[in-house]
């Protein structure tokens, strides 16, 4: 009996000691990555297997905090390549829960994937990933710059400029500010060269006017804008802008002063008779803005806010659901800069947009899911307004429109082709 009791005690002690060793080994493995070790020096297991067993990528991505397997850039890249963007974001966030230093390991995979996507992925895939990513990390400057490049390649320079304007707002460090400025310069250079080759002066002028509206204008951009006013036969606007530039000139650059003086000599002081507005369209005051009656494809009336800060004419989803969709061609989804930040919406090419007696043929509109005030159907953006010399008389509540040179007639204008 005594011998049997001793055997039972030894068996119990063995089991207890075995469990203690197991716990000790797990703790040692979990803490096997020293805090001072560089993330790039961590030796991670193959993304194909763990302990000889196949990985379920979706399950493994969501179990990082409790796993002894360190985060792996290849596994993160695999999720991106499979376009499982929600899981990739979850993998990234949970990696940072372990150690913020893992950002140095995973960020190159994200930026490398987006860079590759500019040439090899659909624009919708980029939009889906960037929209999800910026929803979590809205101040991510490198991702914004890649989004702007994608928008430029898609022939949407105003949307690219809007994205860069947001990036400029969040670029608080010197290096980031320089990156944004360089991106703006590249965008302007490319857009100017492309539209100049096409002699699309009205579209190019509208682009520079839009830059000024969203506070991305520079004196150099304004000088180019003044030159374009001359090209589209608006010498008075050219002269006024040049005088403003000359008054702000500090005289530190003789070359800049000479360029201003040379352009001023070409500008007129008084407007010619044919520069006066030809159409007077009633508008309605709406808080700090004005509403104007418009129509898409000559359909029912829509009340649109005149917004020079909107790159594209926009309808709310509710208003879009109430219009007849004949003549709408779906063009894809994009990200747009709104008062609430970046918002994903759909783009449609429409047959025409009419404002009063004027009509613009063959252009894009955006449909966004946002709430608007009662009686407001959307925004009349710069892709319409840039085709006119326009002015709002706030006292008389009238919008004056005169088609810029290049229109087929006073009641129609064929929009120039987009940048390819």
Question: CB burial class (10 A; 0-12, 13-18, 19+) of residue 381?
Answer: buried
Q: State the CB neighbour count (10 A cutoff) for residue 135.
A: 12
Q: What is the block-wise mean pLDDT of the chain (420 residues), using blocks of 10 residues? A: 48 45 40 34 34 40 58 92 94 92 94 92 90 93 95 93 94 90 97 96 95 94 95 89 92 90 77 59 90 91 92 93 87 83 89 90 91 87 91 90 64 41
In the numeric block, which tokens belong to residue 251? 């005289």
In whole angstroms, give the CA distance from residue 183 to residue 151.
12
Rounded CA gap, 244 and 375, in Å?
39
Question: Is the Cα torsion angle 290, 291, 293, 298 positive or negative in sign?
Answer: positive
Alpha helix locations (H) across 201-341?
A: 201-213, 219-231, 235-247, 254-266, 317-321
For residue range 198-234, list pLDDT tens digits in order: 999 999 999 999 999 999 999 999 999 999 999 988 8
The helix, strand and coil proportions of the chain, stated in percent and rounded to the nearest 5, come to 50, 20, 30
Q: What is the pTM of this model?
A: 0.77
Q: Quote the CA–CA distance of 106 and 40 in Å, as a whole number.
A: 10
- Distances from the Cα of 399 to the Cα of 207, 255, 305, 357, angstroms: 21, 40, 12, 12
Alpha-carbon gap, residue 69 to 176, rounded angstroms: 34
Please write the tens of the pLDDT for every residue from 63-122: 554 556 788 899 999 999 999 999 999 999 999 999 999 999 999 999 999 999 998 988
Residue keyed to tokens 């929209």: 131
Residue 304: left (phi > 0), alpha (psi -120 to 50), or beta? beta
d(C-alpha 204, C-alpha 219), whole Å: 17
């Amino acid at each position: 009996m005594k011998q049997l009791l001793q055997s039972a005690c030894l068996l119990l002690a063995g089991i207890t000691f075995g469990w203690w060793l197991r716990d000790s080994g797990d703790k040692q493995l979990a803490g096997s990555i020293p805090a001072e070790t560089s993330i790039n020096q961590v030796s991670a297991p193959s993304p194909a297997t763990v302990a000889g067993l196949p990985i379920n990528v979706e399950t493994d991505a969501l179990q990082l905090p409790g796993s002894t397997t360190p985060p792996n850039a290849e596994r993160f890249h695999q999720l991106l390549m499979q376009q499982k963007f929600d899981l990739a974001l979850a993998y990234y966030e949970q990696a940072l829960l372990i150690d913020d230093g893992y950002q140095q390991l995973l960020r190159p995979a994200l930026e490398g994937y987006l860079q590759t996507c500019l040439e090899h992925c659909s624009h919708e895939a980029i939009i889906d990933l960037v929209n999800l990513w910026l929803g979590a990390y809205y101040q991510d400057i490198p991702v914004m710059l890649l989004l702007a490049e994608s928008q430029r390649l898609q022939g949407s320079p105003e949307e690219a400029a809007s994205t860069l304007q947001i990036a400029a707002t969040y670029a608080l460090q010197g290096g980031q500010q320089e990156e944004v400025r360089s991106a703006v310069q590249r965008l302007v250079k490319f857009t100017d060269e492309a539209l100049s080759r096409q002699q699309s002066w009205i579209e190019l002028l509208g682009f520079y006017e839009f830059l000024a509206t969203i506070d991305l204008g520079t004196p150099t951009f304004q000088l180019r804008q003044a030159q374009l006013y001359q090209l589209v036969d608006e010498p008075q606007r050219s002269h006024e802008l040049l005088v403003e530039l000359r008054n702000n000139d500090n005289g530190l650059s003789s070359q800049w002063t000479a360029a201003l003086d040379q352009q001023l000599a070409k500008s007129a002081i008084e407007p010619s008779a044919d520069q006066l507005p030809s159409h007077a369209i009633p508008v309605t005051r709406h808080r700090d803005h004005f509403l104007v009656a418009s129509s898409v494809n000559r359909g029912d009336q829509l009340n649109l806010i005149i917004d020079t800060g909107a790159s594209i004419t926009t309808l709310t989803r509710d208003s879009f659901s109430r219009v007849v969709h004949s003549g709408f061609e779906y063009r894809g989804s994009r990200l747009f800069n709104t008062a609430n930040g970046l918002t994903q919406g759909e783009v449609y090419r429409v047959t025409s947009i009419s404002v009063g007696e004027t009509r613009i043929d063959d252009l894009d509109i955006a449909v966004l899911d946002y709430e608007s005030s009662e009686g407001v159907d959307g925004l009349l953006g710069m892709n319409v307004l840039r085709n006119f010399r326009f002015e709002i008389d706030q006292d008389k509540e009238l919008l004056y429109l005169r088609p810029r040179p290049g229109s087929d007639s006073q009641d129609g204008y064929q929009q120039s082709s987009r940048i390819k």
